[in-house]
Amino acid sequence: MKNYPIVKSRRLRSTPYTDRIESQGVSSYTVYNHMLLPSSFKSIEADYHHLKEFVQVWDVAAERQVEISGKDSAKLVQLMTCRDLSKSKIGKCYYAPLVDHQGFLVNDPIINKLAEDKWWLSIADSDVIFFAKGIAAGQKLDVEISEPNVNILAVQGPLADNLMVKLFGEKIKELKFFNFNYFNFKGYKYFIARSGWSKQGGFEVYVDDNKAGQDLYDYLFEAGEEFNVRPGCPNLIERIESALLSYGNDFDNRDNPFEANFDKYMHLDTEVNFLGKEKLKKIRENGIKRKLMGVKIDHDSIDMYCEKTLFDDKNEVVGFVRSAAYSPTFKKVIGIAMINKPYWDSKDQFKIEIDEKIFVGTICDLPFI
C-alpha cells in the first residue's frame, strides 16, 4: 500500500523535540494521543540493531500524562483500574490496565504515584482524560483532572546507564525498575523513572519545562557521542519480540483484560472498588474464548494496515494478527495475534494471505524473547 503524507496542524500536535528529530532525520511518524510519535529514523530494522547494541534518545512526548489530584484522587484512580493500588507507594510506577463498566479495556498506562493525592497516568493512545472526567462527574468526586505540559524523553538501550551517569551522576544507577526519583542537572530538577517501551533497559525523563527538555536533549547527544547515541523511537520489531503490548493495535475497547493476558495486573478478590469488577468476575467464571498469543510466519515482510485473518486447513478461522514485523533475529515474520481457544495448544500450521499469496505459520507463546 502506498504511503501518503499526513498534514500537520494544531490538532495533530508537535512536541518540544520535533524540530530536533526532524533535523536529525526522522523518516516516519505515527499519530498517538493526537500527537506526533516518530516511528523510524534510518529504517525500522537499522534502528532495531542499533537499539540492541548502543543507546537511543526517544521523543515519546505523545505518552501524555493525565494528572489526577485532590482529596478523592486515589479513589478515582482506583475506580479506573482493576489493579489493586491500595498498598501503592509514592515514587513507584504501576503498569495498570484501565477497564470500563462493561469490563472492556480503555488503556494500559503506567500509573505514577507522586503523592498520596497526586497521580500521573502515563497513557497509551486513547482519550483517558474524558473517561476520568466522566467518572468524576458521575461519582461527584473532589478531584482535579488535567493534561500537564509534560514531555517524556526516553533513554533506551544497553548503554543507557553509562550515558545517564555522565549527566546525573552515579546515584542514578541505584534507581530500581519501575521506580522514579528527582535528579538535578545544570540547576534543573528532572523526574526520572527506570522504565521505557523496550526491553533493552533505560530511563524515562518526564520533563515539565520545554527549555529544560530541549537543553537535556542536546546534552544527551553531546555526552552520548562516545556511546554512539542516536535518535530513536519505540521499535516495532523489538517491542513485538518483547511482547510489549500496544493499545489500539494488539487490543482495544472490544477486548477484556483476560484476553490481553493481564491476569497478573487484575485483583478481583480484594476489597478495592473499580469499574467492571462484577463483569470481570463473570468473565472469569465463564472463561474466555480467545487470547493474545505469538505467531511466526514463514515470510520476509508484512504490511499491517488492518487485522489479518489466520485459517486452518479446513478454512476455519484460527484468529487474527494484530501487529507483525519481520524479525532479523528469528528470520521470520513474528506477530501478536488474537487466537481462538480451540487453537491455543495447536502445533499445526495455519494459512495467511500476504500480498495476494498464501504463507504458513505457527502459534507460539509470548514473549518471543
- Residue numbers of the site for ligand THG (CB under 6 A)? 63, 95, 108-110, 122-124, 152, 178, 195-197, 204, 244-245
Between residues 74 and 105, which has the closer beta carbon with respect to ligand THG? 105
- Cell 524523553, residue? 153
Between residues 201 and 362, which has the closer beta carbon with respect to ligand THG? 201
Burial of 312-348, coded b for 16+ CB within 10 Å and e otherwise, reads beeeeebbbbbbbbbbeeeebbbbbbbbbeebeeeee
Question: Residues 130, 35, 155, CA angle at the centre, nearest 5°?
Answer: 110
Q: For strands 230-232 and 56-59, give the pairing.
A: parallel
Q: How far apart are CA 41 and CA 139, in angstroms?
A: 45
Between residues 39 and 195, which has the closer beta carbon with respect to ligand THG? 195
Q: How far apart are CA 167 and CA 57, in angstroms?
A: 14
Between residues 231 and 361, which has the closer beta carbon with respect to ligand THG? 231
- Cell 500450521, residue? 349
CB 154, min distance to ligand THG, A = 7
CB 369, min distance to ligand THG, A = 11
Angstrom CA distances, 59 to 215, 221, 363, stand at 13, 13, 34
Between residues 63 and 259, which has the closer beta carbon with respect to ligand THG? 63
CB 111, min distance to ligand THG, A = 10
CB 25, min distance to ligand THG, A = 23
Q: How far apart are CA 271 and CA 283, in angstroms?
A: 19
CB 32, min distance to ligand THG, A = 8
Is 78 within 8 Å of 273 (Cβ atoms)? yes
Determine the 3-state secondary structure of 335 from DSSP: strand
Between residues 152 and 229, which has the closer beta carbon with respect to ligand THG? 152
CB 95, min distance to ligand THG, A = 4
Between residues 85 and 110, which has the closer beta carbon with respect to ligand THG? 110
Report the run of H or E that residue 325 belongs to, with start and end.
strand 317-327
The sign of the CA dihedral 18, 23, 24, 29 is positive
CB 193, min distance to ligand THG, A = 7
